[in-house]
């Protein structure tokens, strides 16, 4: 029997639950019990039965519930928690990021963060639902490769060895997406990625060293095709999540509204012009600064918007240069409003062998590390376009969370080690 069932039906009860809290008031105890279905508060008149309980102990309870009164017939402690706990689960403070990351193994029990993870499950469910209904095939993502994405905006790739050969932990599945669409044309991964972010990114509230992306790729598509697909995906997912669990979402974020399509589109040059008027300069040939992206996100209202056609020098080798605007790519970012910032990165892919080699050399990359991908490019890969959507960032936006580390069960936050 679950806590939820006890609350609904009362009567004779038998359940396993955690002691969420207990308070002694005169000759009775207010006992809060918790399991995966929620928390319920009961008045227990038999104080002597619960006198030695501690918060976060696991108990077996058999008794009778009438209204909010629990008459205990049998109570056994299965796991007894110590009297002192590392975090008060009733008052978790996510702004204390070091403590939050260090004790994430315990904070996952908090009803608030259990609900975050339940909502995240539905986010992923409806993302998959939409893509599969749209003809996309989900593939299992690789986690190591001789080479991974070099365009990491200041982050560093992590490495390991396999039979003595140096591999990189996956920072992006971009090259594998380009390989896969030659076979299946419309594919996606739900991919885990690892990067050593610059230390200063601890303070943005939206960076993790270990994160999840829904990585989508579509053969023969243009940037406009996948931007429309992404808009449809975002709107569909938000509508369905609200339809499925509106009450929970509204407790977190009562002002949430599903965005209207089509989303506003700015070019990179238009975006930097706006920022210049707001007193923020963007280094020539670079992406927007973290400050600039946040400021623009706050300035442009409460709807998501696109920034398209970034400078060629600011992005990875795999983006296609715009023939109508040399020096700029046919690429895009989707920026969430109200300071939440970038949630999607994508564009059209460079697929010509000689251009890929040229871009890699310009970036100072060792071509030998990319040998398998260059061999594939020599054989031939199709033109394609795609994007990656950050699952934790999307969850954070839907629930209105202050920090992205609140949207993952065991966060790896820049600069904080060791953590679970």
Confidence at 152, pLDDT banded by 50, 70, 90: low
Same domain, 81 and 132: no
Q: Is residue 417 assigned to a domain? A: no
Residue 322: give the domain boundaries: 103-406
**Better pLDDT: 179 or 46:** 179
Q: Is residue 126 assigned to a domain? A: yes
> Does position 93 have pLDDT exceeding 90, yes or no?
yes
Give the mean model confidence (pLDDT) for residues 190-206: 94
Give the mean model confidence (pLDDT) for residues 154-172: 94
| SS3 (DSSP) at 310 | coil
List the beta bridge partners of residue 43.
30, 69
> Does position 68 have pLDDT exceeding 80, yes or no?
yes
pLDDT at 150: 78
Give the mean model confidence (pLDDT) for residues 396-420: 97
> Does position 85 have pLDDT exceeding 70, yes or no?
yes
Q: Is residue 306 assigned to a domain? A: yes
Same domain, 155 and 197: yes
Question: Which CATH number belongs to the domain containing residue 44 in this structure?
Answer: 2.40.50.140
Same domain, 168 and 208: yes
**For all residues of the chain together, what is the average pLDDT?**
95
Question: Which CATH number belongs to the domain containing residue 228 in this structure?
Answer: 3.30.930.10
Q: Is residue 94 assigned to a domain? A: no
| SS3 (DSSP) at 188 | strand
Q: Is residue 418 assigned to a domain? A: no
Number of H helices, E strands in the chain: 12, 16
The residue ranges of DSSP E strands in 305-349, in sequence order, are: 305-308, 331-336, 341-348
Same domain, 354 and 255: yes
Same domain, 81 and 129: no
Q: Is residue 339 assigned to a domain? A: yes
CA–CA gap between residue 31 and residue 45 (Å, rounded)? 10
Same domain, 23 and 170: no
Same domain, 204 and 295: yes
Residue that terminates a domain, selected from 85, 115, 150: 85
Backbone torsion region of residue 354, taken as left when φ is above 0, otherwise alpha when ψ lies between -120 and 50, otherwise beta:
alpha
Same domain, 329 and 236: yes
Q: What is the pTM of this model?
A: 0.95
Q: Is residue 393 assigned to a domain? A: yes
Percentage helix, strand, coil for the chain under 3-state DSSP, each rounded to 5: 35, 30, 35
Each residue of 229-276: pLDDT tens digit? 999 999 999 999 999 999 999 999 999 999 999 999 999 999 999 999
Give the mean model confidence (pLDDT) for residues 278-299: 93
Give the mean model confidence (pLDDT) for residues 402-413: 98
Nearest to 57 by CA among 95, 96, 31: 31
> Does position 109 have pLDDT exceeding 90, yes or no?
yes
DSSP summary character for residue 140: P
Nearest to 150 by CA among 178, 127, 128, 170: 170
Same domain, 226 and 156: yes
pLDDT at 154: 79
Q: Answer for the pair 131, 123: CB distance below 8 angstroms, yes or no.
A: no
């Amino acid at each position: 029997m679950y806590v939820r069932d006890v609350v609904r039906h009362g009567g004779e009860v038998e359940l396993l639950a955690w002691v969420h809290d207990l308070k002694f008031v005169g000759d009775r105890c207010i006992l809060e019990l918790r399991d995966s279905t929620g928390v319920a508060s009961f008045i227990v008149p038999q104080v002597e039965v619960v006198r030695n309980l501690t918060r976060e102990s696991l108990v077996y309870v058999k008794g009778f519930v009438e209204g909010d009164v629990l008459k205990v017939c049998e109570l056994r402690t299965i796991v007894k928690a110590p009297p002192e706990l590392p975090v008060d689960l009733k008052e978790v403070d996510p702004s204390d990021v070091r403590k939050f990351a260090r004790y994430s193994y315990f904070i996952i029990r908090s009803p608030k963060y259990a609900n975050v993870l339940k909502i995240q499950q539905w986010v992923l469910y409806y993302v998959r639902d939409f893509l599969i209904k749209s003809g996309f095939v989900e593939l299992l993502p690789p986690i190591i490769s001789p080479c991974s994405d070099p365009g990491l905006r200041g982050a560093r790739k992590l490495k390991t060895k396999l039979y003595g050969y140096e591999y990189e932990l996956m920072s992006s599945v971009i090259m594998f997406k380009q390989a896969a669409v030659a076979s299946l044309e419309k594919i996606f991964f739900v991919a885990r990625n690892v990067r050593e972010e610059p230390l200063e990114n601890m303070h943005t509230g939206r960076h993790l060293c270990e994160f999840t992306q829904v990585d989508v790729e579509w053969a023969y598509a243009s940037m406009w095709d996948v931007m429309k697909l992404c808009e449809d995906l975002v709107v569909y997912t938000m509508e369905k999540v609200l339809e499925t669990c509106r009450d929970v979402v509204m407790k977190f974020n009562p002002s949430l509204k599903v965005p209207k399509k089509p989303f506003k589109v700015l070019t990179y040059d238009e975006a930097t012009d706006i920022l210049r008027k707001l007193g923020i300069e963007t280094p020539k040939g670079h992406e927007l600064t973290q400050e600039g992206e946040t400021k623009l996100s706050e300035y442009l209202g409460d709807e998501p918007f696109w920034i398209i056609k970034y400078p060629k020098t600011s992005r990875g080798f795999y983006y296609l240069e715009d023939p109508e605007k040399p020096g700029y790519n046919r690429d895009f970012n989707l920026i969430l409003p109200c300071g939440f910032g970038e949630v999607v990165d994508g564009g059209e892919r460079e697929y010509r062998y000689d251009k890929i080699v040229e871009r890699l050399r310009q970036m100072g990359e060792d071509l030998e590390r990319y040998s398998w991908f260059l061999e594939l490019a020599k054989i031939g890969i199709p033109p394609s376009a795609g994007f990656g959507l950050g699952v934790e960032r999307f969850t954070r936006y839907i629930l209105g969370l202050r920090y992205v580390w609140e949207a993952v069960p065991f966060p790896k936050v820049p600069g904080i080690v060791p953590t679970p």
